Structure 1
């Protein structure tokens, strides 16, 4: 029977579906695989269901013979897998687009509101017993409704964020994208990240991760933003130069930030943790049971289709 390695614990519904089709070995650890584990997985299993942090770079594929014929990634982002190197040794790669769109967009709106309305700071005030009651100028934040939202990357997730912001909060939408986009709601495409930054009250990063977008966001964008503007990242941590973000916050170039991802995840710089005007979440973008089940079932379907000789539903 076809042997599949699942590299992290997944919802019971996903594992039950996988066991209908394959002989499954579940790696019980919640941390990413090490280099030796990854090399062994390619040699010992017909397929692997990896996820974020399992760094299948080119050197992992270089040594030894590979029994593995497919990496069915759990997640839409696959910048931790060198797809070209995998293909070079005859290993297919798939991902799970679509399933993550709404949940990730919801987290973007959560961070936008938390940052603009100082919600994290306010909760800490209450929890520490330091709140002394309501008064008219207590913790005044920024009203988000009717303001301008700038989106970097107008793919599925970027559009889902834009629709929520426009139709739910009456926000004007500007964006930067590598190619023109046709959309069924008002949105203005601008020529550069800096133009988006200068025009926006909130900027959200929604571009894919990978070498092409590493440190795409840095000092130039922050310098272009209004000192009253807020910055949000729900994409991949290394898209943002964290040192430049910290410098911008220290200099008062922006009013605050909301982050769900980090450049050296799970490490978070002490300078960010110490700032009251920074909202920090532990990569909750897709952390809803239904969403994780949908992602897992999509990965299992990619595996089933591959070994049945059918077209891959989500090849990358």
Structure 2
């Protein structure tokens, strides 16, 4: 009997066809709703191999119970949904999809900056609701993006590409990172700042850090209080990097002008989430990599890793 590969999400168009000679494929068949956590945990215990997405939580508790699992591929660059240390202790290989979605995510990050700055979502809602009654001198006004100061927190590949886009708007670009990126400074004309100085100086802040113990609530009440009252913050990292309750209060109290986020602590986000009620908040449903071209490339990287494993070749895109 062939070993079992559990795909914990719906994969259309027989994209996993080339793996069928090696494994028996079991797949979540709902293309709208995420696989429930209890079913994911049952699949982990049944599977020899696991193919996951970011909403799937592969915890140490369930990994420590498996006796069969040999490899996990994650359809994402981030892998904070997998307890990598627990997998490592069990000798389980983990792969991801690096270097494929940076351009696409940078596009979205800058689009959210523009949307927040020009109040595009709120203004569109007013149009749909019949509240646009005519041209007004200061009606529906936002703020300029060009020649403003952009602060990037997390200067990885996506951060560098956001800086590249910002140069076309003649923006002054600051960045904060765990380490200086002198090559990026020279290539994109960006300037290093401490986190606190960046928060105080920037008109727009884009958060692009991975979610770790160190970055959890990196943007908290104290950080938000350091920002200009006219500033906007955009989160394209992970929900937990920004304290959502603190962000809500800062927006309601006028401590900052606006915010946008492609990510939330709980996903899918509830329609009752307080942030969604605010006119100066722009939400997106975690679509940073959501273009046909990028998603196809991500699937291809996972398939390449699987095929390399099954044919005893060097496995690309390994996390561990």
Residue in structure 1 matched with residue 246 of structure 2 by the alignment: 244
Q: 2:229 aligns with which of 202, 227, 230?
A: 227
Q: Deviations over 1:156-177 (max 9, x none)?
A: 11111111112x2111110110
Answer yes or no: is the 8 Å Cα contact 2:77–2:97 preserved in 1: yes
Q: Deviations over 1:214-234 (max 9, x none)?
A: 111111221111111101001
Q: Structure 1 residue 172 and structure 2 residue 172: aligned?
A: yes
Partners of 1:140 and 1:41 in 2: how far apart?
51
Answer yes or no: is the 8 Å Cα contact 1:238–1:264 preserved in 2: no
Answer yes or no: is the 8 Å Cα contact 1:11–1:293 preserved in 2: no
Shift of 1:17: 4.4
1:297 to 1:64, Cα distance in 2 relative to 1, 3 A: closer
Answer yes or no: is the 8 Å Cα contact 1:116–1:256 preserved in 2: yes
Q: Structure 1 residue 278 and structure 2 residue 252: aligned?
A: no
Partners of 1:35 and 1:138 in 2: how far apart?
47
Partners of 1:121 and 1:35 in 2: how far apart?
35
Q: 1:254 aligns with which of 239, 253, 256?
A: 256
Partners of 1:223 and 1:284 in 2: how far apart?
28
Residue in structure 1 matched with residue 109 of structure 2 by the alignment: 108
Partners of 1:250 and 1:127 in 2: how far apart?
24
Residue in structure 2 matched with residue 148 of structure 1 by the alignment: 149
Residue in structure 2 matched with residue 47 of structure 1 by the alignment: 49
The secondary structure found in structure 2 opposite 1:175 is strand
Partners of 2:54 and 2:306 in 1: how far apart?
18
Partners of 1:20 and 1:144 in 2: how far apart?
53
Shift of 1:68: 1.8
Shift of 1:11: 4.2
The secondary structure found in structure 1 opposite 2:206 is strand
Answer yes or no: is the 8 Å Cα contact 1:286–1:292 preserved in 2: yes
Shift of 1:20: 6.5
Q: 2:294 aligns with which of 291, 296, 302?
A: 291
The secondary structure found in structure 2 opposite 1:300 is helix
Residue in structure 2 matched with residue 76 of structure 1 by the alignment: 77
The secondary structure found in structure 1 opposite 2:306 is helix
1:18 to 1:169, Cα distance in 2 relative to 1, 3 A: farther
> Which residues of structure 1 form unaligned runs of 5+?
none
Answer yes or no: is the 8 Å Cα contact 1:10–1:296 preserved in 2: no
Residue in structure 2 matched with residue 137 of structure 1 by the alignment: 138
CA RMSD of aligned residues (A): 1.7
Answer yes or no: is the 8 Å Cα contact 2:28–2:35 preserved in 1: no
Partners of 1:68 and 1:43 in 2: how far apart?
8
Answer yes or no: is the 8 Å Cα contact 1:43–1:64 preserved in 2: yes
Q: Structure 1 residue 87 and structure 2 residue 62: aligned?
A: no
Give TM-score, length-normalised by structure 2. Answer: 0.92
Partners of 2:295 and 2:316 in 1: how far apart?
18
Shift of 1:265: 2.2
The secondary structure found in structure 2 opposite 1:173 is strand
1:134 to 1:20, Cα distance in 2 relative to 1, 3 A: farther
The number of residues matched between the two structures is: 313
